[in-house]
Amino acid sequence: MENGEIPENANEHCPGPQSESAGKSDDCEGCPNQQICATAPKGPDPDLVAIAERMATVKHKILVLSGKGGVGKSTFSAQLSFALAAMDFQVGLLDIDICGPSIPKMLGLEGQEIHQSNLGWSPVYVESNLGVMSVGFMLENPDDPVVWRGPRKNSLIKQFLKDVYWSELDFLVVDAPPGTSDEHISIVQYLNATGIDGAIIVTTPQQVSLIDVRKEVSFCRKVGLQVLGVVENMSGLSNPLMDSKFLKITETGEEKDVTDWVREYVRERAPELLNVITQTEVFDSSGGGALKMGRGMGVTFLGKVPLDPKLCKAAEEGRSCFIGENCGVSAPALKKIIEKLMENPGISKMLVDDVA
């Protein structure tokens, strides 16, 4: 428990040795350290000072949250980071999804390792102005599971914040795991004194996702974290007509591929359809989706991102959807969301102050 660290054998929801409730709360029952924590002297966590010093060179900190897993939060975090870097900002992307670190793959950094310098851990760089840190870089085998209790995960998050040398950053984007658990409490607690711009919450349109997103909004309000806005991801499957695959079901129930025939028919008989985009509702949005939820809870709706096969491919290949094989459907939607984010009074004012 040196320097107020939570021991690895602590209970899952350990309040921390420096907490006034250490050794006394219900969460401490049965912990082998209960008596030591109850009698140990209390005081401020010295690591918070180290975190504040390290974060002093980071101007803006944005958390990307989701109430539910599988909504594309990490994809959004990756593309937001790519976009900010393309705008000539110095950007850091911190992956605190300890048990499901997908950021290394989405940034094309699989197999990379963390290096130590006299200044601390060095991020892994995609470009000179886009650095990444993730537990994924610490695994010998990418298929190895991270089977850690809450205290150990919290300890690594703290280490990421106080030991990683980002140098000067305009933006630190933090990709968090789904839910409102230990990692979320810890990241807010550790960064609170350094100033957090706020959180972007990612959801899909259906009610089963929005139920959890409402909890995420409530969590942010409970811990005093500003909600910068909500993004509705996978808002319908959008695809250029000529990129679609066409099937015909035979009388025996077999699938017959008629893609070539349909494409040739369109070129010869209906060329005006060549640039048509098809859209199919994948998730039920009859409840009004994130837009209605945002209005009801008084949070900004940043926009919708369609489920775009080219965006999915970009994420798989670890590249930006804004360059190269352009994501013609999703890239414009993402650009509008990022532009709206930059217009947020808090962020836009800070950017003006930075220039001044």
Residue stretches of the annotated binding site for [4Fe-4S] cluster: 14, 28, 31, 37
In whole angstroms, give the CA distance from residue 39 to residue 17: 10
Alpha helices for 61-168 (secondary structure H): 73-86, 103-106, 150-163
Classify 182 in phi/psi space as left (phi over 0), alpha (psi -120 to 50) or beta. Answer: alpha
Query: Tokens standing for 9?
Result: 């054998």
* CA distances in angstroms from 345 to 114, 300, 348, 351, listed in the order given: 36, 12, 5, 10
4 and 47 Cβ atoms separated by less than 8 Å: yes
Report the alpha-carbon angle 111-113-118, nearest 5: 170
Which residues are annotated as part of the binding site for ATP? 67-74
In whole angstroms, give the CA distance from residue 320 to residue 106: 9
- Transcribe 201-266 into DSSP letters: EEE-SSHHHHHHHHHHHHHHHHTT--EEEEEEEEEEEEEEGGGS--EEE-TTS-EEE-HHHHHHHH
- The total of other beta-carbon atoms located within 10 Å of residue 96's CB is 24
In whole angstroms, give the CA distance from residue 50 to residue 152: 19
In whole angstroms, give the CA distance from residue 176 to residue 174: 6
Which residues are annotated as part of the binding site? 14, 28, 31, 37, 67-74
The distance of Cα 307 from the centroid of its chain, to the nearest Å, equals: 17
Query: Tokens standing for 23?
Result: 């050794």
